Structure 1
Amino acid sequence: MVMVFLLPSYNGCNMIRRNISEMEGTAVEVDGAKGVTMKLLAGKEDGAPTFAMRHFLVESGGCTPKHEHPWEHEVLVLSGEGELECGGEVIAIRGGDGLFVPGDTLHQFRNTSENSMEFLCIVPVESPCGQCVPGS
């Protein structure tokens, strides 16, 4: 059960609040993904015209698929440790790290720790060519 709170309007702004601990996650079931769950905190269906905010949980030993696309990511690692492979470079990442992943760059998040890794990922709701971004 997803708890969605429509907060009082402030200067015509109807805000939405969702708590990740109260949301059901959706398994990321694409080739190359392992042990990844996503929760959409805000997206196009909520009336977000520009950006979507997604929460990812990557289990120990799990990874996102290695992929690339035209849009960028802004990422905040909330907890855990792992690696980000981006454009052929691999860096260690951990809770508190803010990351920028440029568009058109091959990338993958990997959990190399014994605990789960969580991160927020901000993406545009539409790609530069006007198509909807998956998971937005």
Structure 2
Amino acid sequence: MSIPVVRSADQVAKKPVQKGTNSFVQVLIGPDEGAPNFILRKFTILPGGRIPAHRHPTIEHEQFVLKGSMRLGLGEREVEVGAGEAVLIPAGVAHWYYNEGDEPVEFICVIPKTKEYETEWLE
């Protein structure tokens, strides 16, 4: 049985996103906190920052934009998403992020906890 956890994002170190530019991730709640099924992450992409195109063959993402707006590639589509909007990225769908605005973008990303987290970088 897991123990309840309450923590501030300010308590969690920001780590650079692999292959990203001016983009950071924080694992807010995950295996280290005893979460049995999901991992809750917060991403920050600074102005001009990006996360290049990639996909996860077996892992879906649910995301919610907290602050700012960004361009988001979803397969062949390109959309603008901003604060208050939610996004579903099904497993296997290529996606990328670009903050062309003047303020940081912050979004929450929930993924299932799995034994493997495969990322296929496409650029």
TM-score category, normalised to shorter length: 0.7 to 0.9
Measure, in 2, the Cα distance between the counterparts of 1:34 and 1:78. Answer: 20
Q: Give the SS at the match of 1:65.
A: strand
Deviation at 1:132, TM superposition (A): 4.6
Alignment of 1:1-136 (within 5 A): 14-28=3-17, 30-31=18-19, 33-69=20-56, 70-126=58-114, 130-132=115-117
Measured after TM superposition, the shift of residue 52 of structure 1 is 0.1
Distance 1:50 1:13 in 2: 11
Q: What value does the CA root-mean-square deviation take over the aligned residues?
A: 1.7
Tell me the residue number matched to 1:9. Answer: none
Which consecutive unaligned segments of at least 5 residues does structure 1 have?
1-11
Aligned residue pairs total 118
Question: Which residue identity does 1:97 align to in structure 2?
Answer: E
Q: How much identity, in percent, do the aligned residues show?
A: 26
TM-score where L is the length of structure 1: 0.80
**TM superposition score normalised by structure 2:** 0.88
Larger Rg: 1
Q: Deviations over 1:26-76 (max 9, x none)?
A: 112x23x11111111111122111110000100001111210012110000
